[in-house]
Each structure stands twice: as structure tokens, then as C-alpha cells.
Amino acid sequence: MADLKFQRNFGIAAHIDAGKTTTTERILRYTGMIHKIGEVHDGAATTDWMEQEKERGITITSAAVSCQWTFPTVLGKVTPDTQKYYFNIIDTPGHVDFTVEVERSMRVLDGLIALFSAVDGVEPQSETVWRQANRYKVPRIGFVNKMDRSGADFLMVVRQVKEMLGAKAVPLQLPIGAEDDFTGVVDLIKMKGIIWHMETEGMTFDEIPVPADMVEEANEWRQNLIEAVAEYDDKLLEKFFDDPTTISEDEVHEAIRKATIDLSIVPMMCGSSFKNKGVQTALDAVCRYLPSPIDIDAVEGINPENGEIVRRQPNASEPFTALAFKIMTDPFVGRLAFFRVYAGHLDAGSYVLNVRSGKKERISRIMKMFANKQNPIDSIEAGDIGAAVGFKEIKTGDTLCDEDHPIVLENMFIPEPVISVAVEPKAQADVDRMGMAIGKLVEEDPTLRVRTDEETGQTILSGMGELHLEIIVDRMRREFKVEVNQGAPQVAYKEAFHATIQHRETLKKQTGGRGKFADIVFEFGPADAEWLTENPGKSTQFVNDIFGGSIPREFIPAIQKGFEQSMNTGVLANYPVVSMKVRIFDGSFHQVDSDSMSFELCAKGGFREAARKAKPVLLEPIMKIEVITPELYMGDVTGDLNRRRGMLEGMDSRAGAQVIKAKVPLSEMFGYVTQLRSLSSGRASSTMEFSHYSPAPNNIAEEVIARIKGKSKD
């Protein structure tokens, strides 16, 4: 097994169209994994292998590839010091509808190349990606792509990263020329210019002195660079003040590396992936600055047997510990579970413990993934990423570990769906097939939720956006050969309570023989804000204040279960309830007729009655939208957003166009893209992501409730 020091697990993440897949394609070419560069617009990119990806020119699913890079080299040529570095790269989607793909990739990666477009700078999804990387404390390098495009401005992007993302962005390079004249970069560490050869697809390059008109600027930025990293190396600072010329390249590299891993700086680089410029230096930077598995802290988890915190070092001799972060179905191999090994060693054919289910799983084969192709390997060790075949039930976020040393690793954050669509099979023969297809898709995609509408009997799919659901239905048709009819997209509303009330609920049933009896007195209302912040991800605050045994202790869990189950269907329009607090403080029971079932039914009945009195309100999802439009159409675009109940939040200009930021309810945004095109003669574009839930105005709430209630009368 290779030395972990030479292993890098990193991802490429950015906004739509910043050039993630194009960059990945170049990396595979330079590392010798492919011999012909495939372009996204031709539908030939290696990592975009799904039919839907090829057609649309977008990435939908995150693809893992492995490759090797030789580093360090002199002018692209091997030297006696050159080592082979092993890369596991994950190319992630940029579209907000597939944000979970980025989320789960972040959870298992050690580093990240954050791509920015030199023309558009920091875009909405760039911010989302950045927040995700912050959540999992992932060190990152910034790469400003598309330097050959008109309007490209490297230092503008650096400034935006500082201002909008709050990161300490430090340029390591300055571009030589811009737009059509972009020929290379000035390396601020070497203080040399780099010009890539186009005839070798940028595999080789020349070093030139710093162009005369850039010397002053380069010195200034080099000074900024040294100052930014000097706190990581006191000697560096001393040298800088005494004699800056004595500072060696290695010292600077070492200081940048420490500062990057510590998340205190973000080294910024630039290039044009499409024109084969700059990707090679970015790969060198990955080797230099991003952490190997041994540079990051030992992984922490909880021992499920005693609740103690356990630490596992990234070492093959430790007990096996891994996290399954993605499930994929392959038509030939069956189900694959992608997993990251944090500690230990696993041979193909051995058993692991799935802590969630408490069952043993046999991993019959281990694969190294290359987009949608699998290469079998005999074993896998700490720090590596692979895919397992032959398991029975592994889900996204499961911890796999040694049977004798159980551990539960922190799971990943899964966002809530905001939009739903009703689907039904076209033919009777498709009923079973549709059930299977949905089962597999839900297994693969944790943001896809399925429920059956009790009143209509329809299957309701809920997802992250229109595109997400469109792709899901398309996959059902192509991969699983299931033809479905789908309804119009529906907004995923929620319900909440505004008042706290007291209520007494009694259940009495006598039908000959043993009856049913339960009686509870409780306080009912919204959950405390403090409790919600302390318990993220939970929604039912249940307080048991019964003293003196008016209700026996063994019936309390049944009452809690009754309330928790009721939350899935609110009283206004059957939408799930966001949060609630239930405090039981009195009640009574019958020696013979009371049982757990009686109390559970009583709690469900109590919820229906109390919820009506606790001032229920309907909440609607509010989306954060950003529209980029030429100035000419500003008035029309803002007028249209106002008409859609939008709240304008700010305007600024970017590369000669106007950027409008607003918060708009999702229910008003159906068909917006088409409308925006016709308003602006196709020149404006928009991006949208979920922001928060907010109470719907009365007239809207009444409409929604009437529509839902109207359904039930049919």
C-alpha cells in the first residue's frame, strides 16, 4: 500500500457552469487516465456518464475517479525527487437541486478545489458550497477559471471571495494578460512567469522572467502573500523584514500549507481549463497544500455501547472504521456502496458491522471507481475511498466498522425537500415495477422522499426542485422501464402552532369484553426556541410532568409515540408540522381497560383536537433568488418579482450587468425561467435556492386549504 503521505482525497465544487467537469477532464488527461479530452458540450466528458447528463450538459451525480500525479517536477519533467501521488477526486454537481451530492462528498473529503468563474465571480451556489465546506472544516484552494473569456478579472474574484465568503483569499499567481491575451501566469513564490505550450495540451511550459510592466504589482502581491502566512513561521517574518531575498521557496510552501490546513487562508490560483492552462499548477498545489489523510485530525465517533467518544487514527493497524456516503445501482454489478475508510484495513470477502442496523454485512468485493467503471481490488486501507458490492442493507450515512470495536461516526446534513409531484403508473403492469424503482431511487438519493396521500391514494414524490423531480421521473422511465403519469408540481407546505393551550382528552370504548380507556391532560403549543437550537434535527419537545402515578410509567412512551406520529399530518391541510411542545401533567387510567394502544390512540385524538385550538398557521417555503439582467430590463424584472410577492433585498452591478437579489415564495416561481426569458429577450438568467419557511398570508393559506379540502370531497 502506498504511503498515506502521498494520498490526496479532494473534490471539485462550484456554481453551475464554472467548469468543474471540464477541469476534472483535464486532470484525467494530464494524469494519463484518458488519452482524449472529452468536452461537456459534446456530451463526452468522462465523469458525466449518465444519459441525462450527456443530454443536458450538466452534472447530476457526483462521480469518483482515481488517478496518479507525479510531483515535484521541473518544467513538467521528472527528477530524482519526483514521487507518485495518489488522487481520489470527486466531481460534484453545481445545480442547487443536487446539493446533497456536494454535501455527502464534503463529508468524506480532506480537501477541495473551489472553482470560480473569472467573469461571474462568487455566485449563489458558490456561497452554498463554501458553507458546506465550512460545516465539515474542509481546507480548500481557490481556482479562478475561464480567464480567457471576455470580462475576466482575477483580482475582482479574489476581492469577492474576501468580502462575500469572509475568507482570507491570498493570490499565489497573477495572470499575464486577460481575455484573448491570457497567455500564462506569474508565480509569486518563484517570481517567474509560466507560459504553457498549446501544442502539448499544456503538458509542458516555459519559465520566463516577470514581464517588466508587472514587476511592481507582482512585488506588492508577493509582500501580501508573505505577510498572510508569516504568522505560521516566525523565521519567515524575520527574514522578510531583514532581507526578503533570503526567503526560500520551500519555506513559503511550508507556511502556506500550514495556513491552508488550518483553514486560515485560501490560496488563489487562476487559469483556463478549456484552454488547458493552469490545471497542472493547480494539481501541484493540491500535492503541496492540501492535507493527506494523516494531516487531518483523528476521526471522532461515539461508542454505541457506552456513549463515550472514541478517536481513530488514520492508520491501517487501527480497528476498521468507514462511512458509507453514497449508494448507486449499476445495471451489471448491482448495488454499490461508496465508502471512505478512516482507519484500519478491509479485505474483500470479509464481514463488517453496520452500526445503524446492528447487523453484520459481508463485503464480497471491493471496487476502485472510475466514473461508472469499476476496477476490483483485493483490499482497502485507511485514507482511501472505494465502493463495496454484495451487501444487504447499507444506507447513506451508515458507519461500517470492526465487529469487536463498534463506533458511530457523525452523519451528514440532509436538506429538507421543498417541492412535490404526484405520480401514478400508466398501466397496471407497472405498479410493482414503479414500487421497486422508487425503492432504489430513494436508497440512492436521501433528498428524495416518498409518501402515499391517504385521501387520494396517490404516490407523492418530494424533492429539492423541479429539475430534481424531472430527472427522477426520467430515470424511472429509462433505467427501470416504468411509464408514469405525473401531476403538476406542488409546493411542500408545512404547518406550525402559534398559541399554547391546555387540553383534556379522554378515550372510552366499550364493545363487550375488554374495553379501551385512556385519559390525559396536557399543555400543547410550539416548541421552545432554546430547545430547538440545542436539539438540531428534532421537532417534538416532549415533557413528562406526571407525579404520583396518575398514569403508569409504562404508558408514557405510547403517548409520546402517538403525538410524534400525528405530526406528519397537520390539521389545516394535512401538511407535516414543523415543531411542537407537549407537556403531560395529569390524567387517569383503568386497571383493566387501559393499555399502551389506548393511550397512543388517545394522544392522536388529543393532537387533532388541541391542534385546532393552538392557532395553527400554514408555512410556505421562501426561495432566495438571484437574477442577472442587462440594465435595460431592470424595471420589468423587478416589477415581475414584486408581482410574485417577492421581497427585494439588494441590487449591485457585476461585469456590466445588474444583479437583483430577492426572496420569493416558491409557489410563485413555477415557470419563472420561461417568463424571465421572454421579459429580457433571453438575456437574463436566474438561480434559486431554498432559504427558509415563513407563514403564508391569509388569502394564500385559505386557497391552499380549500384546494386540499376540496380534494377530499371528490
Provide Rg for the chain, Cα atoms.
29
Confidence check: pLDDT of 562 > 90: yes
The mean predicted confidence, pLDDT, of the chain is 88
Residues 249-286 pLDDT 10s: 888 899 999 999 999 999 999 999 998 899 989 999 99
Mean pLDDT along residues 575-598:
89
Q: Which residues contact 307 (CB under 8 A, 6 or more apart)?
A: none
Spatial distance between the Cα atoms of 22 and 28, rounded to a whole number of angstroms: 10
C-alpha cell at 373: 467503471
Per residue in 667-678, pLDDT (tens digit) is: 998 888 888 888
The answer to whether 336 touches 367, Cβ cutoff 8 Å, is yes
> Both ends of the chain: CA-CA distance in Å?
66
Q: What grid cell was written down for 393? A: 442493507
CA 174, CA 184: separation in Å to the nearest integer? Answer: 9
CA distance 552 to 639: 62
Split at pLDDT 50, 70, 90, the class of 713 is: very low
Q: Tell me the mean pLDDT in the region 114-140.
A: 89
pLDDT of amino acid 619:
94
Whether the CA torsion 216, 220, 222, 223 is positive or negative: it is positive
Q: Which of 636, 628, 631 is nearest to 688 (CA)?
A: 628
Q: In the prediction, which pLDDT does 711 show? A: 58
- Most confident range (mean pLDDT) of 109-113, 227-231, 450-454 is 109-113
In terms of pLDDT, which residue wins out, 199 or 173? Answer: 173
- Cα angle 326-358-342, degrees, rounded to a multiple of 5: 45
Model pLDDT for residues 600-639, shown as the tens digit of each residue: 999 999 999 999 999 999 999 999 998 988 888 999 999 9
Note the pLDDT of residue 618.
94
**pLDDT computed for residue 714 by the predictor:** 38
Dump pLDDT digits (tens) for 452-496.
Answer: 877 677 899 999 888 899 999 999 999 889 999 988 888 889 999
Residue 680 near residue 634 (C-beta atoms within 8 A): no
C-alpha cell belonging to residue 559: 403517548
Enter the C-alpha cell of residue 640.
415581475
DSSP at 40? G
Residue 599 to residue 113: CA distance in whole angstroms: 55
Residue among 667, 666, 686 nearest 676 (CA): 686
* pLDDT category of residue 2 using cuts at 50, 70 and 90: low
Determine which of 36-45, 146-155, 536-545 has the lowest per-residue pLDDT on average. Answer: 36-45
- The whole-number pLDDT of residue 647 equals 93
Q: What is the pTM of this model?
A: 0.79
Q: Please state, in angstroms and rounded to a whole number, the distance separating the CA atoms of residues 631 and 683.
A: 11
Q: What phi and psi, each to the nearest 5 degrees, are found at residue 309?
A: -80, 130
Give the pLDDT confidence score for residue 159 in this predicted structure.
94
In angstroms, what CA-CA distances link 667 with 465, 572, 670, 677?
12, 18, 7, 19
Strands 657-665 and 647-654, sheet pairing: antiparallel
Q: Is the pLDDT of residue 712 over 70?
A: no
pLDDT of residue 179: 83
Quick one: cell of 454? 391517504
More confident of the two residues 385 and 235: 385
Give the C-alpha separation, 12 to 21, whole Å: 8
Comparing 246 with 2, which gets the higher pLDDT?
Answer: 246
C-alpha cell read off for 190: 518563484
Euclidean distance between CA atoms 90 and 65, whole angstroms: 6
CA-based nearest residue to 392, from 359, 370, 428: 359
- Are 220 and 186 a contacting pair, CB within 8 Å? no
| Per-residue pLDDT tens digits for 84-94 | 999 999 888 88
CA separation, residue 28 to residues 46, 101, 109, 146, 387 (Å): 9, 21, 19, 19, 20
Query: Does residue 665 come out as left (phi exceeding 0), alpha (psi in the -120 to 50 range) or beta?
Result: beta
Cα angle 47, 48, 51 (rounded to 5 degrees) comes to: 145
**Host H or E run for residue 520:** strand 516-525
pLDDT at 9: 94
| Nine cell digits for residue 36 | 482524449
Measured CA angle at 180 (ends 175, 185), to 5 deg: 15
Q: In this predicted model, what pLDDT tens digit does every residue of 361-416 receive, in sequence order?
A: 999 999 998 877 888 999 999 999 999 998 888 888 899 999 999 999 988 888 88
Q: Is 80 exposed, middle or buried (0-12, 13-18, 19+ CB in 10 A)?
A: exposed
Instruction: Name the burial class of residue 13, with classes exposed (0-12), middle (13-18) and buried (19+) by CB atoms within 10 angstroms of its CB.
Output: buried
Q: Which residues contact 683 (CB under 8 A, 6 or more apart)?
A: 629, 630, 633
Sheet of strand 205-208: strand arrangement = 173-176, 184-187, 192-196, 205-208
Bridge partners, residue 340, by sequence: 323, 385
Helix, strand, coil percentages for the chain (3-state, nearest 5): 30, 35, 35
